[in-house]
Amino acid sequence: MQIRIMIAEDERLAREELVYLLEQESNVVVLPCATNGRELLQLVEEYEPDVVFLDIRMPELEGDQAARMLAARKKQPLLVFSTAHEDYAVEAFKLNAVDYLLKPTEPHRLKETLQRLRKRLAEAAPPSAPPPAAKVAKMIIEDNNRLVVIDPSTVMYAVRDERVVQIWTEGDVYTTRMTLQQLEEKLQAYPFFRTHKSYLVNLQYVSELQPWFNGAYNLILKGPNPVKLPVSRTAAKDLLKRLEG
């Protein structure tokens, strides 16, 4: 995980030392530094750092005051306080600092701090989207006492009929004891949509929607013999969004 870090430090040697140590670490980007609290606020607005290392005592606007102002931002950077005085440790943690470093910065303590920062940033990161389902070239269906191989793209729709599911393709009809939910999971990489609790439809075959009553629709599938299928009122809104892309 890459961490974008900004340093706010008015002492040149302390600032340069911290920059040097951070640049030795992998996946760390050091942003332009601030030399006082007011400059820090301006640079944070411009660069939106993940983390700010700041001295508690700085000219113009001190670090603790700047920290309170940063806490009011919608997107708050994580804070690490750096100071030569141990007395400010309690104050730093009152301001929700992730860590507190004493000057001069010791490399092993900085590494510990970076570990804490990575953990906090990972916890705050939004969950990654699951990878898209891979398309299966063929699908095996148990039809009565035989196994039938079907091209999923040729399935027009499926309908639940009591304890079985009928799968309608461009040229055939198959009957299986697979549930409609199981079939939907197999076809998740294809543009199928549950228009009704008993119907699963391939949107590639949709040619028309006809308003019915009470917010419901009838859906027309294209083909030599057009098929009319129901769209429930609860599914209609989501179906329209899917069709519009």
**Could you read off the pLDDT tens digit of each residue along the chain, which spans 245 residues?**
789 999 999 899 999 999 999 999 989 999 999 998 889 899 999 999 999 998 877 777 777 778 788 877 778 899 998 887 766 555 656 667 888 888 888 999 999 999 999 999 988 877 666 666 667 778 888 888 889 999 999 999 999 988 899 999 988 999 998 899 989 988 988 999 999 999 999 999 999 999 888 888 999 998 777 899 999 888 888 898 888 86
Q: In angstroms, rounded to a whole number, what is the distance separating the alpha carbons of residues 121 and 14?
A: 26
Q: In angstroms, rounded to a whole number, what is the distance separating the alpha carbons of residues 239 and 231?
A: 9
pLDDT of residue 109: 92
Point out which residues pair with 158 in neighbouring strands. Answer: 167, 200
What global pTM score does this model have?
0.52
Q: What is the pLDDT of residues 8-36, one digit of tens each?
A: 998 999 999 999 999 999 899 999 999 98
Q: In angstroms, rounded to a whole number, what is the distance separating the alpha carbons of residues 170 and 151?
A: 10
Q: In angstroms, rounded to a whole number, what is the distance separating the alpha carbons of residues 226 and 49?
A: 58
Q: Could you tell me which of 244, 238, 139 has the C-alpha nearest to residue 194?
A: 238
pLDDT of residue 157: 95
Give the 3-state secondary structure of residue 97. Answer: coil
Look-up of token digits 């931002």? 73
Q: In angstroms, rounded to a whole number, what is the distance separating the alpha carbons of residues 206 and 194?
A: 13
Q: What is the pLDDT of residues 71-101, one digit of tens each?
A: 777 788 999 988 877 665 556 566 678 888 8
